[in-house]
């Protein structure tokens, strides 16, 4: 495939790089990567060793000593050039993301666009790493706070966003003066290797030292654990399941490290009697079946007022009937495959449990077979009539299952159902009623990190802070003032007088 060649993906690839230099380790096992789209073998990656991680950390420690002294807008200039390289390779990288992960080509390219957008955002941010100036209570004193680079930042990313999550973290961290280690998901390492190849020219042309953008492909249980426990890494951004995030959070907290936790969601859309169905229906369907239900922000629950329930159910099943399922690289198709056969098992199992608890599958649920579905990872997205308290509804199943839940009475009842899960990532309400919308956004409203009105749960813009509450982990990355997490804050007080007054009027004379 032409795009593999352009992205420098070989038949066999090394798994760790300090920037432009690859460690040639071959004795830690080889990851063989197959496309969930076609079942075809793509290429393999040699996993990195603990020794390779040591080399990366050493080069990063050295690079940080230099990088932190480069003025932030100059660091922004490097990120600007990376953004331009990504523009050049958008189609190729988008195609690889789609082929390796299984999301549609549109979404693969959208993911690369997100990387470009965050580069632009980070370039602007590089001139805006502001602190405040405060008024001192003491005469002839000046007080302010400032932000300094933190050190080595590690991004541990999930399979479903093979490249964007790295950019969200690494580009902001880079303008903040930090150096980066990336541990991608072992299910999609080729996309990460491609990124490393794309940025190589920028590193070389600007004569940057090794260690500013590094990559390590290795097992979570060995390399991942080493990273979590390493005191030289003050900040780790973990995107993944709640189980992995809970463990990572505990280990990092024990050594007083900082963690950005971006974990599972259980996102709901509320439809009140004043919904504009024409607008809402595409948002629900895209939210539930886009990326085959494998977005952290995928719509998993649809909470509908009883007065419109039957109508919504009918138009939803009709819309699902029109979905085309197949190769994500073919732009005609709406739904691609799940990442692997284990995900298909989880899909089947969740449907079984939902039925055992009293749920009714009213659409889909089949596993597709035949020439077009050779990878064995294609399923028909399912709609299940269910109740919010079912154990399986309370969990995040990373697959296209939409639970249809009825509410009655006031919008507050719908909000209670929406909030009645342990996760707190994304939420939406579809209504033309201002009181309902404002209630949803108020302190009594949605308890999620993202709350939208007349927009679905998925497809966030990079300008806002992204993340969620409760078991979603509480982390924020990307836009708004998320950059502050990547820096250490320092309060400075300067006495330009000749006396030494103490704060709070305390007297101490010698």
Strand pairing report for 465-466 and 477-478: antiparallel
Stretch binding ligand NAD (CB under 6 A), from 30-38, 146-154, 197-205, 220-228: 220-228
Determine contact, residues 59/18, Cβ cutoff 8 Å: yes
**Nearer CB in complex with ligand NAD: 193/296:** 296
| Interface map 162-201 toward ligand NAD (x if CB under 6 A) | ---------------------x-xx---------------
So which residues are the catalytic ones?
Answer: 262, 296
**Nearer CB in complex with ligand NAD: 16/239:** 239
- Sole binder of ligand NAD in the list 7, 53, 208, 425 (CB under 6 A): 425
Contacting ligand NAD within 356-415 (CB under 6 A): 396, 398
At which residue do the structure tokens 């008024």 appear?
135
Site for ligand NAD contains 97 (CB under 6 A)? no
- Hey, CA dihedral for 491, 77, 113, 233, is it positive or negative? negative
Helix (H) or strand (E) holding 469: strand 469-470
- Sole binder of ligand NAD in the list 240, 249, 336, 359 (CB under 6 A): 240
Strand order, beta sheet including 133-134: 133-134, 141-149, 487-495
d(CA 111, CA 173): 19
- Sole binder of ligand NAD in the list 113, 136, 146, 241 (CB under 6 A): 241
CB of 191 to ligand NAD, least distance (A): 12
Site for ligand NAD contains 244 (CB under 6 A)? yes
Site for ligand NAD contains 478 (CB under 6 A)? no
**Nearer CB in complex with ligand NAD: 202/425:** 425
At which residue do the structure tokens 């995107």 appear?
239
**Nearer CB in complex with ligand NAD: 76/264:** 264
- Sole binder of ligand NAD in the list 102, 224, 234, 424 (CB under 6 A): 224
Q: Which residues contact 132 (CB under 8 A, 6 or more apart)?
A: 144, 145
Strand pairing report for 141-149 and 487-495: antiparallel
Site for ligand NAD contains 239 (CB under 6 A)? yes
- Hey, CA dihedral for 150, 155, 161, 162, is it positive or negative? positive
Stretch binding ligand NAD (CB under 6 A), from 10-18, 73-81, 259-267, 278-286: 259-267
Site for ligand NAD contains 296 (CB under 6 A)? yes
**Nearer CB in complex with ligand NAD: 325/338:** 338
**Nearer CB in complex with ligand NAD: 239/427:** 239
DSSP letters, 107-174, are HHHHHHHHHHHHHHHHHHHTT-----EE--SSTTEEEEEEEEE--EEEEE--TTSTTHHHHHHHHHHH
Determine contact, residues 418/469, Cβ cutoff 8 Å: no
CB of 448 to ligand NAD, least distance (A): 11
Determine contact, residues 183/45, Cβ cutoff 8 Å: no
Determine contact, residues 43/192, Cβ cutoff 8 Å: no
Rounded to a whole number of angstroms, the distance between the first and last alpha carbons of the chain is: 80
CB of 187 to ligand NAD, least distance (A): 6
**How far lies 419's CA from each of 274, 321, 388, 446, in Å?**
21, 30, 10, 6
| Interface map 263-292 toward ligand NAD (x if CB under 6 A) | xxx---------------------------
**Nearer CB in complex with ligand NAD: 91/258:** 258
d(CA 87, CA 446): 37
CB of 111 to ligand NAD, least distance (A): 11
Stretch binding ligand NAD (CB under 6 A), from 51-59, 238-246, 403-411, 434-442: 238-246
In the bound state, the residue with its beta carbon closest to ligand NAD is 224
* Binding site residues, ligand NAD, CB under 6 A: 156-161, 183, 185-186, 220-221, 224-225, 228, 239-241, 244, 247-248, 262-265, 296, 396, 398, 425, 468, 472
């Amino acid at each position: 495939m032409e795009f593999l060649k352009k992205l420098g993906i070989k038949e066999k690839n090394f798994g760790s790089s300090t920037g432009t230099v690859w460690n040639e380790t071959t004795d830690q096992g080889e990851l063989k990567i197959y496309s969930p789209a076609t079942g075809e073998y793509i290429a393999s990656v040699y996993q990195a060793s603990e020794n390779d991680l040591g080399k990366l950390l050493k080069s990063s420690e050295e690079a940080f000593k230099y990088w932190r002294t480069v003025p932030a807008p100059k660091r922004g200039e490097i990120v600007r050039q990376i953004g331009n390289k990504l523009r050049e390779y958008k189609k190729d990288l988008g195609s690889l993301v789609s082929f390796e992960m299984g999301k549609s080509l549109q979404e693969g390219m959208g993911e690369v666009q997100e990387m470009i957008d965050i580069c632009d955002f980070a370039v602007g941010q590089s001139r805006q790493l502001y602190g405040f100036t405060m008024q001192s209570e003491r005469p002839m004193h000046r007080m302010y706070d400032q932000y300094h680079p933190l050190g080595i930042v590690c991004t541990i990313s999930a399979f479903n966003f093979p490249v964007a999550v790295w950019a969200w973290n690494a580009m902001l961290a880079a303008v903040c003066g930090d150096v980066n280690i990336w541990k991608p998901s072992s299910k999609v390492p080729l996309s990460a290797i491609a990124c490393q190849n794309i940025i190589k020219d920028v590193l070389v042309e600007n004569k940057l030292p090794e260690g500013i953008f590094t990559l390590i492909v290795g097992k979570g249980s060995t390399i991942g654990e080493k990273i979590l426990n390493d005191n030289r890494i003050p900040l780790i951004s973990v995107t993944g399941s709640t189980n992995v995030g809970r463990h990572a959070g505990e280990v990092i907290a024990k050594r007083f490290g900082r963690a950005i936790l971006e974990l599972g969601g259980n996102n709901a859309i509320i439809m009140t009697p004043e919904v504009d169905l024409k607008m809402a229906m595409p948002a629900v369907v895209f939210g539930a079946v886009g990326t085959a239900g494998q977005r952290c922000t995928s719509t998993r629950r649809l909470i509908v007022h009883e007065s419109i329930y039957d109508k919504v159910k009918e138009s939803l099943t009709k819309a699902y009937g029109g979905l085309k399922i197949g190769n994500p690289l073919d732009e005609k198709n709406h739904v691609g495959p799940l990442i692997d056969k284990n995900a298909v098992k989880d899909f089947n199992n969740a449907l079984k449990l939902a039925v055992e608890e009293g749920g009714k599958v009213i659409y889909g649920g089949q596993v597709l077979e035949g020439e077009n579905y050779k990878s064995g990872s294609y399923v028909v997205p399912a709609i299940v009539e269910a109740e919010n308290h079912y154990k399986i509804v309370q969990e995040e199943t990373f697959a296209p299952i939409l639970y249809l839940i009825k509410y009655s009475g006031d919008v507050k009842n719908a909000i209670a159902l929406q909030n009645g899960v342990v996760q707190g990532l994304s939420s939406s309400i579809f209504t033309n009623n201002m009181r309902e919308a404002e209630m949803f956004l108020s302190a009594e409203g949605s308890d999620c990190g993202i709350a939208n009105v007349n927009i679905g749960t998925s497809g966030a813009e990079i300008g806002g802070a992204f993340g969620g509450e409760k078991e979603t982990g509480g982390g924020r990355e990307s836009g708004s003032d998320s950059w502050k997490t990547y820096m250490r804050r320092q309060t400075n007080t300067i006495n330009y007088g000749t006396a030494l007054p103490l704060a709070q009027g305390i007297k101490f004379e010698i």
